[in-house]
Amino acid sequence: MWRAIRLVVDTGIHAKRWSLEQAVDFFQQNSSQPEGTILSEIQRYFTGPGQATAYKMGMIKFQEFRQLAEEQMDDSFNVREFHDVVLGAGALPMPMVEARVQRW
């Protein structure tokens, strides 16, 4: 849920030109986080367009990669090995992570 809220707030700020107050209101209506945490998060979104969106998109891509691997490997799929494949080379662009999963 946290990532989904980030996605909406980031988009609201940069595409819909939400004010700080509008962003805080949305966050408070959709989470139970303390106001200090919310303000800290929102300040990052104002200074880094798309930063919050990247988290959610990354989550979606990793879910897709795992589903692809599970479908192709069936019973031989091992979640620990999958994690080694997607994380073992460090921070990589998503197309490179996908290529590693496909080769695995």
Q: What is the pLDDT of residues 41-58, one digit of tens each?
A: 899 888 888 877 787 788
Q: CA 101 → CA 23, 72, 75, 85, 92, distances in Å? A: 37, 10, 16, 6, 12
Q: How many CB atoms lie within 10 A of CB 13?
A: 20
Burial class (CB in 10 A: 0-12, 13-18, 19+), 30: middle
Query: What is the structure's pLDDT at 51?
Result: 79
pTM of the predicted model over 0.75: no
- DSSP state at residue 75: G
Query: What is the structure's pLDDT at 92?
Result: 93
Alpha-carbon distance 6 to 34, whole Å?
A: 15
Alpha-helix residue ranges (DSSP H) falling in 1-104? 2-15, 20-30, 35-47, 51-73, 79-87, 94-103
Q: What is the pLDDT of residues 48-103, one digit of tens each?
A: 888 777 877 888 999 999 999 999 999 999 999 999 999 999 999 999 999 999 99
Alpha-carbon distance 1 to 58, whole Å?
A: 15
